Amino acid sequence: MEYEGFVGSKNELYPPKKVREKLGLKPGQKVKFRVEGDRLVVERVPSLEDLLGQEPIVKTTLEEHLRERRRLSRLLER
């Protein structure tokens, strides 16, 4: 779907309400901008609450974590 917004007099970007709703944007919400060729891509930056509600990307045990931490400490001490 395509939507049209506009650029304000101070170069602010105003996306239409349907776009804001579709992305779940709220006032004060952070977004990321990326330029791809002549296109502007806008992505919502997830909140800490959003991230805490997701499944972890990496699963490790406490023992594995401590073992890796000791290994890295030994490398740094050299």
In the chain, the number of structural domains is: 1
Eight-state DSSP code of residue 16: -
Report yes or no on 30 lying in a domain: yes
Above 90 in pLDDT, residue 5?
yes
Looking up tokens 């806008």, which residue turns up?
A: 42
Buried b / exposed e over 4-15, threshold 16 CB at 10 Å, is eeeeeeeeeeeb
- The mean pLDDT of 8-33, rounded to a whole number, is 92
Q: Is the pTM of this model over 0.85?
A: no
Report yes or no on 1 lying in a domain: no
Domain hosting 68: range is: 6-77
- Give SS3 for 53: coil
pLDDT in tens, 22-71: 988 989 889 999 999 999 999 989 888 888 888 888 889 999 999 999 99
